[in-house]
Chain A
Amino acid sequence: MTASALNDTRTLIDELLAEQQRLTAVERFTARHEVSPLTRQRVYRDLLPAGGPREGEQYAFSVELDACSGCKACVTACHSLNGLDEEEAWRSVGLLHGIAGEHGFQQTVTTACHHCVDPACMNGCPVLAYEKDPRTGIVHHLDDQCIGCQYCILKCPYDVPKYSHKRGIVRKCDMCATRLAVDEPPACAQACPNGAIAITVVKQAAVIAATREGVFLPGTPDPAYTQPTTQYHSRRGLPHSLLSADAHVLRPSQAHPALVVMLGLTQLSVGAFCLERLLGLIFSTNLMMELSAFHSLVALVIGMLALGTSTLHLGRPLGAWRAIVGLRTSWLSREIMAFALFAGLATFQAALIWFSPQHAVESNWLGTAVAVSGLLGVFCSLMIYQDTRRPFWSGRRVGLKFFGTTFVLGAATVLFVTTLQGLLSPAVANHGAYEQLTSFLTLSLAGSSLVKLGMEALIFRHLREHDLSSLKQTALLMSGELVEITTARFLFGLVGSVLLPLAFLAQRPAPGPATLGVTAGIMLFTGLGELLERYLFFVAVVPTRMPGGFGS
């Protein structure tokens, strides 16, 4: 190439690069952009009900399954026409498959919020960030009211509300209420090439009756719980044996580390206070007076730490005070209130002990009040999870875990603190009841831990089940993908909460650095074991949801 050709190329390059950046479409083509409003109206007429809902009625999505062929345009339209985040969409499409007669069968299922008659999300929300519109029945989410506790995500059996990390709140489908208000169908309904999605008006009493009969869609959770209003229609009929395409895909759930720590430490704190109260009844007042001050201080500090940690779980912790408004329906509100009361009473008691020990120990009512409020808090924690209706979180299982942890961690803590005090104060160490006290603590720790570990291990019974139940999936997760954590949980538990306490008991050692080391080990291993138990509590639970796609 000659030098001049090269130069020419350079100017051509500059010219073309400039040309590439020039946008010409507007000036050339935007003259023709108006669409006859009739075009849209014709398309929309079939997608909206003739009139709005009357008393006892509400709007609902209506899905013609025969027409849903799995193109998933509804999902992208929801995303684009609502201006959602890059990966966000309030509608999804899953797949049911199985056999009909002798032939293979598949049914794609488009799904969004079911705008339930009795929305679990709304009932669980501690700050009343959900509102079921009294006229339309649409379940709205008040984005600016939300504090990002994500309890609605645990509560919704259909996995509808989704957490936005960058905003610290949950967002969800509002059936495009703004569009409906001007007779425009929701984005998903507008976008379905097959007209499979429409808006209809349903009688709420009819929904309640039908969902009580279990009428909804195969492969989905019991509709009686929230009474979902979406109307799935299928003329060809769906075999009851259909499985969701993702039924066999085991995925650990979210870990919620702040909640793991919060639950573990509140239960430790409550356990320590309760034991303190219990020991006061059994052992000499004298000894307990020596111990109380330090015990209650440690329990209080850890309790406060726990409550502090819990705010880390919130997307918008500054709004936590709003939880007061949800008391009527939300166990989360109740938990927050119970622990607030517990913290207040415990602080008062600790202050009293430090400043007027004699008075404090004698005023039994205060210790009892602290213990009761703490237990009430733990009970509310239990109910939070029990109320999600997940089998792994049944009241019995959660109760065993939460109250078990309360006792186990309380005992380990009191044992350690008592040993520490024995080392520091001859008055404690030389007290006649000291050895009885530590023996009592180690024995009850070892015994209760053994029972708790045994009960926890019962989950593996479900591995023998033929059907892939939710509990079997949990057991599979714990023995599969989560096997290292599960093993560690049982090892820490056995060593820290059973073997070491028994060794301690056999030795009956005098207070000294070695003893302190052993009890510190007991406390550390027991604590780690219980935290891992709680971690598994979250990650091994199998939430219910609508049918998903294979691998998506």
Chain B
Amino acid sequence: MSAFRQWKGPLTEELVLRPGEFGLGQVPARLKPDATVNTICGFCSTGCGLKVHLRNGEAINLSPSVEYPVNLGMACPKGWEALAPLRAPDRAKTPLLRNPSGELKPVTWEAAVRVFAERFKGLQEQHGPDSVAWLGTGQITTEELAFLGALAKFGMGIRHGDGNTRQCMATAVTAYKESFGFDAPPYAYSDFEESDVLVLIGSNLCVAHPILWQRVLRNRHRPEIVVIDPRKTETAMAATRHYAIQPKSDLILLYGLANMLAASGWIERDYIARHTAGFEVFEEFITRFTPEEVSRATGLKIEQLWQLANLIHRGQRVSFWWTMGVNQGHEATRTAQAIINLALMTGNIGRPGTGANSITGQCNAMGSRLFSNTTNLLGGHDFENAAHREKVAGVLKIDPGKIPGQNSWPYDRIVQEIESGRIRGLWIVGTNPSHSWIDQSHFNRLMDKLDFLVVQDMFASSETARHASLVLPAAGWGEKEGTFINSERRLGEVKKVARAPGQALADFHIFQLLTRAWGCEELFSGWSSPEAVFQILKEVSRGQPCDFTGIPDYASLEAAGGIQWPFPERDRPGEWAADLAASSFGSPERRLFADGRFFHADGKARFVFEAPRSLPEAPDAEFPLLLLTGRGSAAQWHTGTRTEKSAVLRKLRSGAVYVEINPFDAKGLGIQPGSSVCVSSRRDSIQATAFVTSTVQRGQIFIPMHYAEVNRLTFPAFDPYSRQPAYKACAVSLKPAEA
């Protein structure tokens, strides 16, 4: 019969594999590269290295970099699909201006930047400098973030700007600043591998940061992995212990643990005395958090609390890790600091496998934190400090008077001032708040109230761009150069491997055009290319905890596989390569505070604490359930403007919004598995499909944040210190949807 069988032919040929060369294994023959280049992923803050397969200089495929110290040849689905969004048909290809009949119509760049300058200048002249503000991102390069912040504040005189990092990292920033004296996540990823006890708080690492979970699994010390999370998440399943506490009882739990540790003498009094300040008051404060009290609030048994305290006590190298479960709470900063306090009092900091470690969100959240010129003056400086303003002005060669002496309004205040009418013009860059901002319906009403809204983005189809008066088409990740800083403070360079569609321009180029159109180019004469700005930022960082003056240029970043800050210039120039050897992967040198010296003037870390407060919107008779939000799948990134462009990623997530509900609650409410339900809060109602599952506790429901509907429900509460929105908890009711 084999005579009648076609073993070869054009269809078979389509799937033939060939050796890829360039250190690659077998690759599809039709996608065999003629060169490869390493770059950094543009989704989350893990900052994985990706090897882009090139043909004629253009990306045709990619695979994770085997030799990059962060990810060791692995990537999550988003990284694998990083090129797909670039080819999306709905990329913004020309500037678009809303015409008098309300439609967005293509205009030339010339017209676009002219209108930008005219309208914003007009508003500022008529209503004062505070009438225009901007909202930025953690998704563009450090050089672009700095350009945006410098252009807006020093060039255009816009005083108020903030970024979407407010939605994810502001809490960690505030907590670290107050506790350590600088916004400095102290860890290296190798700490995941060195710990004997890992405590993950409000972090679904397996799904939110799969490559960091890979690092946990490389731990050879048979670690206890503790997950503190109301839900039985993928990470809770993979952990050795899961403590399913009541939502937002984390602060009480952490204070209670501190009390048990202190009362049992399981703390490092010597370390506390030498390297910290404020412990006595803290020790007195925590005595009220008795195990009975904590058990009542958290829903954990007293034995469980002692078990957890014991684990922390017995661990030789205990590391504490937190993500959005902590950062997005109504008392988030104090919760993060309660974690820091535990690490400090048990001496679990500055040694391999220890630390109070915030895992960042976006690919360049750290770049944004240090260089976006919003909350901090460039380089982690202080706007209110005259010496800092002098220093930065000196490096930039501008008049110090150009630098405002007061801080920006935070995001929620900017939103509030749009409502009050003080802000009339808004410039949104690389973020999608019409989907992601808390109490979204209210936000969107305000977008339509603005006199002039500029949206600068890869896609004119985003929820936010639909409200725009002017859309500036931006080139995306992969279509431009620059650097990102990841969660472990590692600077890495992104490469230009694809051509932007139509007239889309890199944000860097857009800022160059706007500088010219605004007429402030004399301030930015040195800002000619991303690498030129990199050199400027190096100088700005000099003497700061984030000093990276020792990195000569992009080429050395490439050669080193990324370099963590701090990396100050040594006495003998040209010695960077030797320093680099010490900075390479696996070296214990690259975590902070090994010497016990913190960034406060006295070198001591602070114990910061405050009495817990009840939920801003607790469930009641009318809205009896608590809505939790969070990441849905590793294939989804935030509002989906990019991940929804990949057909493969779309296969890996639910296409429509769903709500996870406990079987007991479902039964009580007459809700069938897979049926349509109506979820209501005091703000709005949405329809969703019921996923009846025991991974959520009774009285709680969970909806992934990637679906635009969710933030119509969320309650606009904010942490008072970080001003970060408390997405994680609001009161809702649930009923079967009307047929």
Chain A contact residues, CB within 8 Å of chain B: 1, 5-6, 8-10, 12-13, 16-17, 19-26, 28-30, 32-35, 39-40, 43, 66-67, 69-73, 75-77, 79-83, 86-89, 92-93, 97-99, 103-108, 127-129, 142-146, 167, 169, 171, 176, 178-179, 182, 184, 190-195, 245, 247-250, 322, 324-325, 549-552
Residue interface mask B195-218, A partner, CB < 8 A = 1: 000000000001100110110010
For residue B634, CB closer than 8 A to chain A, the reply is yes
For residue B36, CB closer than 8 A to chain A, the reply is yes
Tell me whether B696 and A33 are in contact (CB under 8 A): no
User: Which of the segments B107-115, B169-177, B280-288, B678-686 contacts the partner chain?
Assistant: B107-115
User: Which of the segments B433-441, B498-506, B575-583 contacts the partner chain?
Assistant: B498-506
User: How many residues on B have C-beta within 8 angstroms of the other chain's C-beta atoms?
Assistant: 119
Tell me whether A9 and B113 are in contact (CB under 8 A): yes
> Interface majority SS on B: helix, strand, loop or mixed?
mixed
User: Would you give the shortest CB distance from B197 to chain A, in whole angstroms?
Assistant: 19
For residue B99, CB closer than 8 A to chain A, the reply is no
Residue interface mask B49-64, A partner, CB < 8 A = 1: 0011010011001111
For residue B30, CB closer than 8 A to chain A, the reply is yes
Chain A residues, CB < 8 A from B206: 69-71
Chain A residues, CB < 8 A from B689: 551
Q: A9-B517, A20-B504, A40-B66 are in contact. Are A83 and B15 (CB under 8 A)?
A: yes
Chain B residues, CB < 8 A from A24: 481, 496
8 Å CB interface, B55-83 against A? 57-58, 61-64, 66-67, 71-77, 80-81
Chain A residues, CB < 8 A from B28: 81-83
Chain B residues, CB < 8 A from A142: 5-7, 12
Chain A residues, CB < 8 A from B237: 69, 105-107
Tell me whether B73 and A43 are in contact (CB under 8 A): yes
Complex CA distance for A16 and B689, rounded to whole angstroms? 48
Q: Given A179-B17, A182-B19, A190-B73, output 15 extra A-B contacts at Cβ < 8 Å.
A: A12-B516, A13-B108, A20-B509, A25-B39, A69-B237, A71-B213, A72-B634, A83-B30, A104-B232, A142-B7, A194-B217, A250-B674, A550-B691, A551-B655, A552-B655
User: Would you give the shortest CB distance from A150 to chain B, in whole angstroms?
Assistant: 15
Complex CA distance for A9 and B74, rounded to whole angstroms? 44
A40's nearest neighbour on chain B, judged by CB, is B66
Chain B contact residues, CB within 8 Å of chain A: 1, 4-12, 14-17, 19, 22-23, 25-31, 35-39, 51-52, 54, 57-58, 61-64, 66-67, 71-77, 80-81, 108-110, 113-114, 117, 206-207, 210-211, 213-214, 217, 231-232, 234-235, 237-238, 242, 244, 475, 479-481, 495-500, 503-506, 509, 512-513, 516-517, 519, 554-555, 558-559, 633-635, 647-656, 658, 672-674, 689, 691-697
User: Would you give the shortest CB distance from B359 to chain A, in whole angstroms?
Assistant: 15
Tell me whether B110 and A6 are in contact (CB under 8 A): yes
Chain B residues, CB < 8 A from A250: 674
Tell me whether A9 and B61 are in contact (CB under 8 A): no
Tell me whether B500 and A20 are in contact (CB under 8 A): yes
| Residue in B1, B26, B656 whose Cβ sees the most chain A Cβ within 10 Å | B26
Chain B residues, CB < 8 A from A127: 4-5
Tell me whether B696 and A71 are in contact (CB under 8 A): no
Complex CA distance for A324 and B28, rounded to whole angstroms? 34
**Ranked 10 nearest A-B pairs via Cβ:** A83-B28, A551-B654, A35-B23, A144-B9, A104-B694, A193-B214, A71-B210, A248-B674, A76-B80, A69-B206
User: Would you give the shortest CB distance from A332 to chain B, in whole angstroms?
Assistant: 16
Q: A25-B496, A193-B74 are in contact. Are A75 and B652 (CB under 8 A)?
A: yes
Tell me whether A20 and B110 are in contact (CB under 8 A): no
A86's nearest neighbour on chain B, judged by CB, is B647
Tell me whether A77 and B80 are in contact (CB under 8 A): yes
30 A-B residue pairs with Cβ-Cβ distance under 8 Å, sorted by A, are A1-B114, A20-B475, A20-B479, A25-B52, A25-B54, A25-B496, A26-B35, A28-B555, A30-B36, A71-B634, A77-B80, A79-B80, A80-B62, A81-B26, A82-B28, A83-B27, A83-B28, A83-B30, A87-B648, A142-B12, A143-B14, A144-B12, A146-B11, A171-B15, A193-B75, A193-B213, A247-B673, A248-B672, A325-B1, A325-B4
Complex CA distance for A16 and B529, rounded to whole angstroms? 11
Chain A residues, CB < 8 A from B8: 144
Tell me whether A550 and B658 are in contact (CB under 8 A): yes
Complex CA distance for A169 and B15, rounded to whole angstroms? 13
User: Would you give the shortest CB distance from B327 to chain A, in whole angstroms?
Assistant: 22
User: Would you give the shortest CB distance from B36 to chain A, in whole angstroms?
Assistant: 5
Chain B residues, CB < 8 A from A22: 496
Chain B residues, CB < 8 A from A79: 80, 648
Complex CA distance for A539 and B26, rounded to whole angstroms? 40
| Residue in A17, A25, A28, A103 whose Cβ sees the most chain B Cβ within 10 Å | A25
User: Would you give the shortest CB distance from B76 to chain A, in whole angstroms?
Assistant: 5
Chain A residues, CB < 8 A from B503: 17
Tell me whether B26 and A178 are in contact (CB under 8 A): yes
User: Would you give the shortest CB distance from B738 to chain A, in whole angstroms?
Assistant: 16
Tell me whether B505 and A17 are in contact (CB under 8 A): yes
Tell me whether A19 and B509 are in contact (CB under 8 A): yes
Tell me whether B695 and A104 are in contact (CB under 8 A): yes
Chain A residues, CB < 8 A from B5: 127-129, 142, 145, 325
Q: A9-B113, A26-B37, A26-B54 are in contact. Are A72 and B513 (CB under 8 A)?
A: no
Tell me whether A8 and B57 are in contact (CB under 8 A): no
Complex CA distance for A108 and B213, rounded to whole angstroms? 15
Q: A25-B52, A75-B77, A103-B694 are in contact. Are A35 and B66 (CB under 8 A)?
A: yes
User: Would you give the shortest CB distance from B631 to chain A, in whole angstroms?
Assistant: 11
The residue from A26, A146, A552 contacting B57, defined by CB atoms under 8 A apart: A26
The residue from A12, A105, A182 contacting B512, defined by CB atoms under 8 A apart: A12
Tell me whether B25 and A29 are in contact (CB under 8 A): no
Tell me whether B23 and A34 are in contact (CB under 8 A): yes
Q: A25-B37, A103-B694 are in contact. Are A178 and B17 (CB under 8 A)?
A: yes
Tell me whether A23 and B648 are in contact (CB under 8 A): no
User: Would you give the shortest CB distance from B287 to chain A, in whole angstroms?
Assistant: 32
Tell me whether B25 and A184 are in contact (CB under 8 A): yes
The residue from A9, A179, A195 contacting B513, defined by CB atoms under 8 A apart: A9
B518's nearest neighbour on chain A, judged by CB, is A1
Tell me whether B210 and A552 are in contact (CB under 8 A): no
Complex CA distance for A10 and B695, rounded to whole angstroms? 58
The residue from B63, B213, B506 contacting A81, defined by CB atoms under 8 A apart: B63
Chain B residues, CB < 8 A from A87: 647-648, 650-651
User: Would you give the shortest CB distance from B293 to chain A, in whole angstroms?
Assistant: 24
Chain A residues, CB < 8 A from B9: 143-144
Tell me whether A16 and B512 are in contact (CB under 8 A): yes
The residue from A1, A80, A176, A248 contacting B80, defined by CB atoms under 8 A apart: A80
| Residue in A24, A43, A83, A179 whose Cβ sees the most chain B Cβ within 10 Å | A83
Chain B residues, CB < 8 A from A190: 25, 73
Tell me whether B23 and A9 are in contact (CB under 8 A): no
Tell me whether B519 and A182 are in contact (CB under 8 A): no
Complex CA distance for A325 and B2, rounded to whole angstroms? 9
User: Would you give the shortest CB distance from B25 to chain A, in whole angstroms?
Assistant: 5
B237's nearest neighbour on chain A, judged by CB, is A106
Tell me whether A69 and B652 are in contact (CB under 8 A): no
Tell me whether B654 and A81 are in contact (CB under 8 A): no
Tell me whether B110 and A21 are in contact (CB under 8 A): no
Chain A residues, CB < 8 A from B481: 24
Tell me whether B496 and A179 are in contact (CB under 8 A): no
Tell me whether A73 and B505 are in contact (CB under 8 A): no
